Structure 1
Amino acid sequence: MNRIEKLPPAFERFDKMLGVLDFAVFENAGGTEEEVLSAVPQALRHFHRFDAGKLRSLGSRRITEKAFFGDWYDPDSGNLLRLGRYKTADGRQLTDPVLSSLDGVKIMSGGSSCPETGGQFAYAFSSPPYPLDARPGEVQAVFEEIRDFILPPHRASEILDWSDMRLPEVSDYFDDGAEWWGAFLFSVHIPSMRRLTIIAGSTTD
């Protein structure tokens, strides 16, 4: 298993817009638990402690692509959503708008709660504690490129959700996210391509 160092430009664009998710992608991967456990620390941007044994004991659960993307994503259209109720500068009331429809729209008030169920990659991608430094339409475009890279269309996938309230016991990387925003950890394996992607996220305001 070898790490792919040069990823598509969308990953760098995501970093520049201050996205908080970390990615590590590997080729020639069988998707075994041992491979995942060795790959996870390579995805973590900053940490002093990592306990693979603890992560193994916490375990994971296999989820569908729909559960992986979560509530902030419309699987039929492929659009990111911004869940919640909002009032715009021109007096409109919006409920769960499509994110890209908010280009040029000034939100005056409103908000939504943090999701508490598993999955929720779309939320973690598009709604960090501090807003992404990009237009909503640009966020959607970058999301689509990254989505189609880690989950190529018409390819079978094996998605494991390792997210757990006890992830701070695995690594101090997850301490910040455990405060309120969330601590996220996924492994995505594409058997036909022998490609493994680790996705991690943890931050606070």
Structure 2
Amino acid sequence: MNTILIGIAGGTGSGKTTLADKLIDSFGDDEVSILRHDNYYKRHDDMCYEERSKLNYDHPDAFDTALLCEHICKLKAGEQIYMPVYDYSIHNRSEETILVKPAPVIVLEGILIFAEPSLCDLMDIKVFVDTDADVRILRRIIRDVKERGRSLDSVITQYLTTVKPMHEQFVEPSKRRADIIIPEGGENIVALDMLIERVRKHLKNK
């Protein structure tokens, strides 16, 4: 297939998921497919819940990059894949999968996707969503407390012990690999329109 892979990266709470969703919503289901990096956390059936809860999920090694690269190559070759589903309540993959069909445009979104050279090599357009740290932590607190049922103390502790250090070590430096840097993600209408137009041009010429 004549497929382009658009990678959308950025720190936690930066707005990358909003940008990816708005991009996808602008096209038909047969035109754009979405892959979520969070769904590719490694499976840890060999560990109990307490052990899994202590793992550093903000490090590149937490992800099954080989499987994700394999899935991307299959989609580019016109094959459907079954994306794993990660269950935050048990800190492990669930038994469910999501069918992802090949499409002319594939969007891959995740915090650490630019930290992996093997993933970057597969991307045609790399977009980094750049948002101030204070905005990002507030968004993360709201999401984790309201949507994932976590305590405020646990969210803050995780942010200070792993999220912030890993952002400084891996996410921020990976910004240099981006082709486009977008402030404020999906709220940046001008940048979103430019990205949509780039996708439309590809679909027209495919």
Structure with bigger RCO (C-alpha 8 Å, 6+ apart): 2
How does the TM-score come out when normalised to structure 2?
0.27
